[in-house]
Amino acid sequence: MKKIQFGTSDIQAAAVILGCMRLINAENPAKIIETAVENGINFFDHADIYGGGECETIFGQALKETGINREELFIQTKCGIRKGFFDFSKEHIVASVEGSLQRLGLDYVDALLLHRPDTLVEPEEVAAAFDQLETQGKVKYFGVSNQKPMQIELLKKTVKQPLMANQLQFGLKHTGMIDQGIHVNMTDEASAERDGSVLDYSRLNQMTIQAWSPYQYGFFEGVFIGNEKFPELNAALDKFAEKYNCTQTGLASAWILRHPANMQVIAGTMNKTRIKEIAAAADIVLSREDWYEIYRAAGNILP
């Protein structure tokens, strides 16, 4: 399994993360965890809202069944989304972590991310929460999710802990953060600045981008792999999957991991075969020419 540096830490993390949002639908959660670990995926991503908290409970119970040493795993969770609003208050952040730890059956999580931007955020509240959780040994590392550079800079004004990661939707049908960099000095749709150059910012500040829903198109509209709506892209995936001796899903993952930003891919599948396919493809390095051909097949135009 390819390893990447997690933010500015000294942690060498698995390039593939198993996202646990769908764990509530898994037939045998313990086997899912075991399959992931056996294939080099020891990084697990949670959130307090997944399954209304039930996904964390299921994971905690399943982990005990596996007998896997907790210290061999990197377990991450997120907080900040509440019913009808977002909440980055100290009270909610601390309470959320306490709840996650109880459900997971753990003394600490390796990382905590703020899930979606709270426009009412008071950085001092976030800083106080992070300080308390770090001092108590309940969270080792911190980060954000779905935030752009200036929102991160606002937090950094007060938060003393390095922000290690940023979860952003990215994949062959969500290429906005790449498109705008390619279409600099253009006036077409792809040139529109929507995220504050978050890709370049992340590289400059050594923040690990964790690509969520990498196989989806639209906003959870569906999977593009094998979808008749995208014949050119799937033809390219077929072509290069054969060349690199992997599956289409594996290739779509390898396409993300080929980027020198050293991203992680969040695989949300609860299918053991697909977990193996994605894990195996993590070590594939696409050529520059092939990477761009697949990018164009996804409907992107080079200026």
**Can 50 be counted among the known catalytic residues?**
yes
For 142-167, give the DSSP string: EEEES--HHHHHHHHTT--S-EEEEE
Phi, psi (deg, nearest 5) at residue 78: -135, 155
Q: Let me know: does 257 contact 263? Beta carbons within 8 Å.
A: yes
Q: Select which of 50, 141, 217, 295 is catalytic.
A: 50
Q: Which residues contact 221 (CB under 8 A, 6 or more apart)?
A: none
Residue 263 tokens read as 């991203």
Closest residue by Cα to residue 68 from 102, 103, 35: 35
Question: Which residue numbers are catalytic?
Answer: 50
